[in-house]
Amino acid sequence: MLQFVDDTIFFCEDNVKNIITIKCVMRCFEIVCGLKVNFRKSRIEGISIQNTEIQRYFVILNCNQMDVPFKYLGVLMGDNHRKKILWNDMILKIKNELTTWKGKHLSFADIVTLVKSVQSSVPLYYLSLFRIPSAFGKIITRIQRDFLWGWGSDRRKVAW
């Protein structure tokens, strides 16, 4: 089971007993917390499971089918993590964070703090899920280095 705020992902083996157990767990959650689980917004997907079995699970859980790959907390799940699209998305997020802070009014200490705290947090989240291809690690390092020593200027600064 993976859980973050109001999102939960259950993993189980393919059998009706496990599906009924998941339904019971969600019902117990409703009773204990006083919150209502919206089964219509809930989705299910099976890996290497026959379509007839999945349809049966839809009926038991009263939910919809999930499309794979899907995004969970902003990261594409269920796809090959070696594909460039996953890592290009992360690099785009890093670059988008930079564009909002590209001002020349930041001190060097501010820029170092920005690189260490903010720019490193996005890759760390991805790296907690997947192993990064070395080429993309070098791209991230270059983006951070260029921001640290150039911070939006047209000409390259001297790296001390």
The tens place of each residue's pLDDT in the chain, 160 residues long, gives: 767 667 777 888 888 999 999 999 989 999 999 988 888 888 888 877 888 888 889 889 888 888 777 777 777 777 777 777 778 888 888 877 765 555 566 777 877 887 777 677 777 777 777 888 888 888 888 888 877 777 555 556 665 6
Residue 129 near residue 100, CB atoms below 8 Å: no
53 and 90 both lie in a single domain? no
The domain in which residue 52 lies consists of 2-68
> Rounded CA gap, 112 and 94, in Å?
15
From 68, 101, 122, the end of a domain falls on 68
Residue 48, phi-psi category: left (phi > 0), alpha (psi -120 to 50), beta (remainder): left
Which of the listed residues 10, 39, 68 is the one where a domain comes to its end?
Answer: 68
Cβ atoms of 71 and 129 within 8 Å: the answer is no
Residue 160 covered by a domain: no
Q: How many domains is the chain built from?
A: 2
